[in-house]
Structure 1
């Protein structure tokens, strides 16, 4: 109980300054990734929490939410590693009937499915240096969030929805320019107008729609199945209206909830025992 209270205090402190609307540039946005990580912490085994706490000792914010956006921040903080890991954030399988085949969808292991598998193996290998395992943990936390964002397992021809332009309501008649990928990264979540702590409480109350597992390929296929549902793709240039938000924001929220539970299952399986 004391450990849970301590984490809760650190998590609340880490939210200072983040209660404004997050950027649309990163997968799930900073808020979404932090929520996935916080949900995962809820379901970690006590001994796994202890290991993670030890791995993160010395970090500026030594919590799972505190390192959840590290992989996106590499673009500015470590451009070389950012370039090398750029393809690890997504996989394009919508054109293959949402069936993951490593040979065709992940040449050289450069996709989110194989990145999760590779980094989880490093994390679980106690013969690896501490720094290598810490970095692997940061990658795993972020990439599990990524793979549950449907556009990160979608079409290659439009770069996961990046090439489809839409308009987001901003109080003006024509709305604000955006694209489908950004809409799903954080635009839908932003329409709820909730800060992180309030959103976390709401997501904790959601039931899981699918069984929890640790198979990254299955997670990607499930995300892709959402991408190909009728109505998810609006007409190019469309103004996103309340009907779209009402239909699809609950889906995005369920994916956050699912991502947290699946991340916990993966970490428990990797570090448990």
Structure 2
């Protein structure tokens, strides 16, 4: 568990409040979190997988995993048609069913994050597919593996992954999903480089046999943990201090698992 920020309690609370109020419609981890997962994945990729990824990304404005990590969330503005078609690929609702993934029940027609990771990884791994399809698949995989490690992307359907759970700090409102997307990360007072240093210091956690459905079930179990849902709408910085280690661990796992997917798909 990381140490408390050097910011004063008042300053930390004010920073968290600002982030809660500024958060747009919820997207897993926000821009910072997705970039962190991508950079952690790069650390664990083989030279062959890195070379293949760079080749696919060479025409991107920022030809790096971190540079495309938020592409899938930006589709709603940049490519509304694809954004609508892929909207359900960012999450899977498991919490009502005890966090057990059942493909027929939870992922009809492949429209959930578990199936999306599997499908896009298969496209990425197929050299016979058009280059454009493989580039899109790489960008989807980078994003969706991050998504599945944000606990509320495998949570309850009835509250839309915490989006309808209102939280209140110092008289101003937001929602639980927004808090997990960005608020917990920003509360720590770290910039991107400091976050990377912190996360790289955490141990690798899980075995090689696990896949997207296991990651979703693990995220769901966090959602169902005691205290994850605040007991009242009015919260303070203590909630963030309590759950920051969990958020850090999920980011670390996201990077580890993304590296594994990309190594497998790109010949690593």
The TM-score normalised by the length of structure 2 is 0.89
How far is 1:213 from its partner? 4.8
Q: Give the number of equivalent residue pairs.
A: 248
Give the 3-state SS of the residue equivalent to 1:266 in structure 2.
helix
Aligned equivalents of 1:236, 1:135: Cα separation in 2: 42
How far is 1:238 from its partner? 2.0
After TM superposition, the structure 1 = structure 2 runs for residues 11-90 of structure 1, keeping only pairs within 5 Å, are 23=23, 25-90=26-91
- Mean alpha-carbon deviation: is it higher for 176-185 or for 215-224? 176-185
- Confirm or deny: 8 A CA contact 2:23 2:178 kept in the other structure: no
How far is 1:214 from its partner? 5.2
Q: Which residues of structure 2 form unaligned runs of 5+? A: 1-17
How far is 1:195 from its partner? 1.0
Q: Which residues of structure 1 form unaligned runs of 5+? A: 1-19
Aligned equivalents of 2:232, 2:263: Cα separation in 1: 42
- Mean alpha-carbon deviation: is it higher for 113-122 or for 200-209? 200-209
After TM superposition, the structure 1 = structure 2 runs for residues 1-273 of structure 1, keeping only pairs within 5 Å, are 23=23, 25-168=26-169, 173-174=170-171, 176-213=172-209, 215-239=211-235, 241-272=236-267
Aligned equivalents of 2:208, 2:242: Cα separation in 1: 24
How far is 1:65 from its partner? 0.2
Indicate how the Cα distance of structure 1 residues 224 and 96 shifts in structure 2: closer, same or farther if over 3 A, else same: same
- Confirm or deny: 8 A CA contact 1:93 1:153 kept in the other structure: yes
Aligned equivalents of 1:30, 1:242: Cα separation in 2: 22
- Confirm or deny: 8 A CA contact 1:212 1:261 kept in the other structure: no
- Mean alpha-carbon deviation: is it higher for 74-83 or for 230-239? 230-239
Q: CA RMSD in A?
A: 1.5
